[in-house]
Amino acid sequence: MNKVLKYSILVVVLGLALYASVNIKPLDEIKKSKSDLTFNAASYASDFMANKIETLPAINASDFLGNISDELENYTEQKGKKLGISDEYNFIIEGEARIAAIEEEYITVLLEENQELRIATEFIFGNAIRDGSGMANINDYQNTMDFNSISVELNNIVRETVVPPFKKNAKIGDALYFKGAVTIDIADPQINGIKVIPLIIKFND
């Protein structure tokens, strides 16, 4: 067997081995595989709102307001949650209250000790729910877009499902229970106008 024939056979054998090692998949299958790995923020947020908020730990609203007024920096550092080096600390609070005023952008409620809070009904945005609840860790996500989309979807759910029935049924003097998310910026705390993004609103009979 001459050298040319030997080399030809070797090339064919190597070519067959290389072909066998290549895993060829249809394009549709590849696209589906990538789709399966795509993070679904809407589903993640929906599951949280449907199954996690009832048992989500929360700070008593009256205690929260008292501590924020008395020792802002120490309390926010000890009890709040924040992302990175931000001045914004996030909390989940709850309490019993009575509706004192109905405004265009919020509904003012008074707690038992006449402490005032504003439950937001417009301009539902920010990361208070995501960060205050501690439901997600940025290190668990491949990119910041996925992480930020969680807040977008949570706010959408509040805007579309929590706020409308609250606004529709709210009347001055109504007693209610609420649980919600709050952001405190220690650089500009605005303690007398704290807004709560509502997660749960239940009117008391």
Q: How far apart are CA 50 and CA 140, in angstroms?
A: 22
Q: How far apart are CA 168 and CA 187, in angstroms?
A: 35
The two structure tokens encoding residue 18? 């290389």
Burial class (CB in 10 A: 0-12, 13-18, 19+), 184: buried
SS3 at position 78: helix
Q: How far apart are CA 198 and CA 26, in angstroms?
A: 47
Query: What pTM was computed for the model?
Result: 0.81
**pLDDT on residue 113:** 82
In 3D space, the residue among 132, 184, 139, 188 whose CA is nearest the CA of residue 158 turns out to be: 132
Q: How far apart are CA 92 and CA 181, in angstroms?
A: 5
Where do the structural domains in the chain lie, given as residue ranges? 1-38, 39-203
Going from the C-alpha of 49 to that of each of 128, 155, 161, the distances in angstroms are: 14, 10, 10
Residue type, 30: I
Beta bridge partner(s), residue 83: none
**pLDDT on residue 189:** 86
Give me the CATH code for the 39-203 domain, please. Answer: 2.40.50.420
Q: Which residues contact 64 (CB under 8 A, 6 or more apart)?
A: 91, 93, 182
Q: What is the pLDDT along the chain (205 residues), one digit of tens a residue?
A: 555 555 556 555 555 555 555 455 555 444 444 444 689 999 999 999 999 999 999 999 999 999 999 999 999 999 999 988 889 999 999 999 999 999 999 999 999 888 999 999 999 999 999 999 999 988 888 889 999 999 999 999 999 999 999 999 999 999 999 999 999 999 988 888 899 999 999 999 7
